[in-house]
Amino acid sequence: MKKNVVPYTKARDQLPTFTIINCEHKDLFWRLIGHTAILYKCPLTGQLSVFESTTLNKFTGKSGVQLTPFGTWLAHYPGKVFARVPKFGDSGEEAGIERQVMAEMFIKQYIGTSYPDLKTWSGRLKLALSALDFRLFGRDWLTYKGKDDGIYCTMLVIKKLQGCGLFDGLLKSSEFEPDDTRGNKKIFESNLINTVYQDEIRLK
């Protein structure tokens, strides 16, 4: 079913830190690969920023892990953009402040980290194995064990959720791909901790 586009000016106040962004690029190749990001909202100014890892953000001219004002990013993204808003089981102010602090610490730790090196076999294999699953006896036997230190888009999102205590930390973040956060994959929904993500709303 086609989703109606919600104007960003109406949606932005309802998009907190940890909102997941799912994208469908206009080009078929990149649309098949997919892209995932996560939002950060400054508690002092209300500024929304998108935290992502990408091969190249043509607007900023940067690759790897970066933080960009969301309104500007949204205007330049060449395709459809969807948001999934989180609902937390602990709604107290203290818990919310703790999550926010952890989110900020994670950004400071990982911003500037490189994307997987796609010029190497190891870097390419890292991305390929994130999309390939062979589960037997409760284990995925097609897991990446190489030495590439780069972080790709969905890996960054999962690592951040894990680092902030919102996702099972025993799972390898490199085993997740963009489609896993679209709301129809049990492996994502069932491993959230004290958190539920709402259905997607389309922003573009």
Q: Which residue ranges make up each domain of the chain?
A: 8-202
Q: What is the CATH number of domain 8-202?
A: 3.90.1720.10
Residue in 115, 160, 122 with CA at minimum distance from that of residue 144 = 122
Per residue of the chain (204 residues), give pLDDT as tens. 557 899 999 999 999 999 999 999 888 767 777 899 999 999 999 999 999 999 878 888 888 999 999 999 999 999 999 999 999 987 778 888 999 999 999 999 999 999 887 788 776 666 666 665 555 545 555 565 767 678 999 999 999 999 999 999 988 898 898 889 997 778 899 999 999 999 999 999
Residue 83 backbone phi and psi in degrees, to 5: -120, 140
Closest CA to 175 of 125, 107, 137, 121: 125
Instruction: Spell out the residues 6+ positions from residue 117 whose beta carbon is closer than 8 angstroms to its own.
Output: 123, 148, 150
| Cβ atoms of 71 and 188 closer than 8 Å | no
- The amino acid occupying position 67 is L
Q: Which two tokens stand for residue 19?
A: 């909102």
The CA distance from 160 to 57, in Å, is 20
Enumerate the β-bridge partners of residue 136: 139
Closest CA to 157 of 135, 138, 141, 179: 179
Distance of CA 43 to the CA centre of its chain: 20
pTM, whole model, 2 decimals? 0.88
User: What separation in angstroms does the CA of 65 have from each of 6, 151, 189?
Assistant: 27, 7, 24
Paired with 195 in beta bridges are: 88
3-state secondary structure of 141: coil
